[in-house]
Structure formats: C-alpha cells, structure tokens
Structure 1
C-alpha cells in the first residue's frame, strides 16, 4: 500500500491541507490506532496528514475557568501532569491504564476522542467533568460538549475539514473523582466496562452534585443521568449505594461480543459503580478524619 504524507507545522497549515478535501486524506497524531488499522486493511487512506509537529497543540495550561489540554498531549503527559492529578484525578487514572507505556507515550488525548471507540478509557472522565471541545476549520471555530461529540461507534460530529484544537475542562476542585475499568487481563486490555465518577460531598456525605459516565455499555460512552439525579441531594449510605443497581440496569445497553456477554457487562457496571462510590467515600473519610465504618459492613 502506498500513500502520500504531509507534515504541517501549524494549525493553519493542517487546516489548509484538509480544506483541499483530497480523496482518502486522513489526519494522524500518535498513530496507535490508525497505523494498526492500515496494517490490517480496515482503512486504506491515500494521504496522511501528520499533526505531530503542531507545537501549540501539545500544552496543558491552567486558566481561570479550569484546564485547557491540547489534542496532541499524550496519555503519559496527562498521567504525569500535577495540574491534572490535583483536580481531575479520574482523567489521570484513566490515562495511566491506556495500553502499554509505549502506547501511552505515543497515543494522544485528541486521538482517543477522535477514534470514537465505545471503550475509550479517557472519555468517561471527560464526560463527568462536562468537558468542551473546540473544533476548528478554515471557516472558524465551534464548541461541542463531549457528550454531543459522538454519533456512534467510530463516528463523531467532526466534519472532513475540521480538527479538535482544544479540550477544555471547567474547574472542579471541590469534587472527588475516580476511574475504574475491567479487562480480560491487567494490562494492554480493551475495557470490558469502564467508569468515571465525580461527586461533590459535604462532611456528612450528602451529595450536592454527581456525574457518572460509563464506557463499553452503549454505542458511545455515556453519562447515566438517572443515577446522577438519584444521588444528588442524598446522604450517601449503604442503602443508597445498593439502590443504584436497578437504575443502572435501565440506563445501559451493552452488547455481547467476543470479549464478554451483555449480561456480564451489566454485572460489571453495577459492581464497578458500587466500588467507585465506596472509594470516593473512603477518600472523603480520610480528608475529614471521620469514621464511616458502616460502609464496610
């Protein structure tokens, strides 16, 4: 297979190339998905636009509103960033679970989004943080929420002449977040189910705001808004946690494939949610130095 390759040095150069709308032109960042798909002949591009030289897309910056992450920031850089770890723990945790060290060193956050895999590990954390994406073309910019970015497995709202230029997360320093996943092995595993939870709790574990998002339980990563609505205003206790199982059942629609049955995925989703909320409570307990031994019964 042969194809042309372009290496733009700036956002403008990349957009100019895409605007030519050459047949079979495909943007590429880390290449951890694209190159595998090319080798397996799942895709047959006629031209690749290598975005890796666009320096302005490789930054993690703190702003008054929160955090701005460039689409070319790698998973390793997300994992290692103190800015991410401090207030957006679930995202750092998710980045640390992606593939192998080699994949994390090459794969990018923008690529994880653009691949639109239902099992993408970094997407549920971005969902619970109400993340906004800036999409750019030569015609201008538009803002799209992560929840509205995905249309289905492998499909997004990106137009052929558009690219993700910025990932913006609002400040959530008062919240505790966590990420969990299960796979067929401990590393280099596609998630059977993954989950991110972000809760804002007071000293008595009353929840004022909840965000819960799953991957691998629907055609796209999803927020389970029924679970969120149920948790908000509640004093989180063992009975509340047990009651979540029925709500989760109604909100997810996993499939059976070579890696797991739909029934098993439903079981994993419920167990991961219980475990994650218990972990959040444990973190809050440590913060306040209070005893909540009833959660361990």
Structure 2
C-alpha cells in the first residue's frame, strides 16, 4: 500500500484523477480513526491512500451567508473549540462532546465521520437535524448534496469515483430551537451507540412550535422522524399524543439485533428517549 500526502485541493483532485485512470483502489485519509480499523479487519484493502490532513483550506470553520461551513479535515476537537460552533450550533457540540475519547476527537474528522456512514455515527444525528449539505469536489464539478441523500446505507455514500468531501455546509437554525442529544450504550464512556436521539424543539407556553427529531443506530442510516415532527407541530403534549408518537417512531425505525443489543431493545429505547424529552 502506498501513501501520498497532498497539500492543496488542486493536488488532491489531480491525484484522484490519476488514480482513477490507472484503476488503483485509492482512498482518502485524514485522521484514519475508522479507516485503519477497517483495514486491520480486512474489510478494505486500498492500494493507495491520499493523505489530505495537511490541506489547510479543508480545515477552516467559517460563517458565510447564514451558514456555517466546516472543512472536511477539521477535527472534532477543533470543531468543539470553535467559538461560532459553540454559539450557533449547540446541538453539534452536544453530540460530538460524547464522541470517543479526547485522543480520538483530536484525530477524527467530520469528513471522515460522514463518509464512514455509520448509522451510529455521533456527528451524523445533529447534521441530519440541521439539514446539512455535503459539498463534494471532483476535477469536473462541485456538488452540494443533502446529507439525508448523501448517505445511502451502512458504509455507503453516493460519492462518485475521483470525488471527495470538501466541506459540510450547515444552515443556522432558529435560536429558539432548544437542543438535546442523548445516546445509550453498554457503558458510560467510549461507547458505540445502541440508540441515540437528537432533538431541536421550540416550545412556548406548553405548545410545540417546531420539532426536529433524529435517531441514530436504529436503522441502516440515521432517521429523521418527519411524521413525528409533523404530529408535534402546534401540539400540546398529552398521553394520547404520546401514544401516537410511539406508533410513528416504530414505523420510522428499522433496528437490527447485534452483539450490543436486540432489535426489540433498540425499539423500546427509541420510544423511551423521545417520551422523556417530550414530557420533561
């Protein structure tokens, strides 16, 4: 396996074009926290790694035209430390503060977490809630893809050959939307989610003005519970509404059973997490 370090977007694009033309099995690497785990397990076997960790223009975090744009190689520690993220994207802060350890957050990048496309990815839940756009580049074009369309399944994205994630663009949410993120795992720290729930809720005088709800680790991708959101808009919380919400949650999710938890347990946890938020 060959590793080539690149230092600009232009060099990255050129190297990707060369690799695609030569039919090399190339992959992009930045932090490598997921990639090397998969390589050691024999899940992937790239012949070429393009290291983009030194491409400074892919590390920026800026506010532009009502959006926050985060470069693909920005680490989670850098995102947590960014004042504009702390002030304007508290749901993202709440989620990635629970991601891995300090050491992992110092290396893992937001672009890597997106392209890894794990339904249990902690950063993905807030990105779904925030209607994030994934900006991808190739030598031929730049595409902006809603994250809900970018991730096609576990470990699957719509990235084409010779494309890479350049940045993620996040529309600034209404500041009246109160953030909440909870994850359930088999231990209290350094755990992979059995089920996670992110919410953004604007509630005034007991009436829900707007709700955004996303579940992680209970389907092949993160799930935006759009039907539950529609149910809650303009509603006050009572037992009848909660009963309907429970049924809609079960309709929205499709969990599996694995070594961490059964499908039935995940279904119950998904319900209970949302009910706890709605009744708090």
Q: Identify whether the pair has TM-score above 0.5, normalized to the shorter chain.
A: yes
Residues 223 and 252 of structure 2 are in contact (CA less than 8 Å); yes or no, is this contact kept in structure 1?
no
1:1-12 matches, cutoff 5 A? 3-12=1-10
Q: Tell me the secondary structure at the aligned position of residue 246 of structure 1.
A: helix
1:1-297 matches, cutoff 5 A? 3-20=1-18, 21=20, 22-172=23-173, 173-201=175-203, 203-236=204-237, 240-241=241-242, 243-278=244-279, 295=280
Residues 180 and 276 of structure 1 are in contact (CA less than 8 Å); yes or no, is this contact kept in structure 2?
no
Question: 2: CA distance between counterparts of 1:182 and 1:77?
Answer: 25
Question: 1: CA distance between counterparts of 2:151 and 2:65?
Answer: 28
Encode CA deviations 1:195-215: one digit per residue, 9 max, x unaligned. Answer: 1111223x3132232211111
Encode CA deviations 1:65-120: one digit per residue, 9 max, x unaligned. Answer: 12111111111122232322222222111111111111110000110000011111
Q: Tell me the secondary structure at the aligned position of residue 135 of structure 1.
A: strand
Question: 1: CA distance between counterparts of 2:201 and 2:217?
Answer: 22
Q: Tell me the secondary structure at the aligned position of residue 48 of structure 1.
A: strand
Question: 2: CA distance between counterparts of 1:68 and 1:215?
Answer: 23
**How far is 1:241 from its partner?**
4.1
CA RMSD of aligned residues (A): 1.5
**How far is 1:131 from its partner?**
0.8
Encode CA deviations 1:259-289: one digit per residue, 9 max, x unaligned. Answer: 10000000110111123344xxxxxxxxxxx
**How far is 1:239 from its partner?**
5.3
Question: 2: CA distance between counterparts of 1:46 and 1:190?
Answer: 29
> So what's the TM-score if we normalise by structure 1?
0.89
Question: 1: CA distance between counterparts of 2:69 and 2:26?
Answer: 28
Q: 1:284 — aligned with what?
A: none
Q: Which runs of 5+ in 1 are unaligned?
A: 279-294
Q: Tell me the secondary structure at the aligned position of residue 209 of structure 1.
A: strand
Question: 2: CA distance between counterparts of 1:207 and 1:87?
Answer: 21
**How far is 1:36 from its partner?**
1.4
TM-aligned CA distance change 1:156 to 1:199, over 3 Å: same
Q: Tell me the secondary structure at the aligned position of residue 196 of structure 2.
A: strand
Report which stretch shifted further, 93-102 or 233-242.
Answer: 233-242
Question: 2: CA distance between counterparts of 1:199 and 1:259?
Answer: 30
Q: Which runs of 5+ in 2 are unaligned?
A: none
Question: 2: CA distance between counterparts of 1:42 and 1:151?
Answer: 18
How many residues in Structure 1 have an aligned counterpart in Structure 2?
A: 276
Report which stretch shifted further, 3-12 or 71-80.
Answer: 71-80
> So what's the TM-score if we normalise by structure 2?
0.94
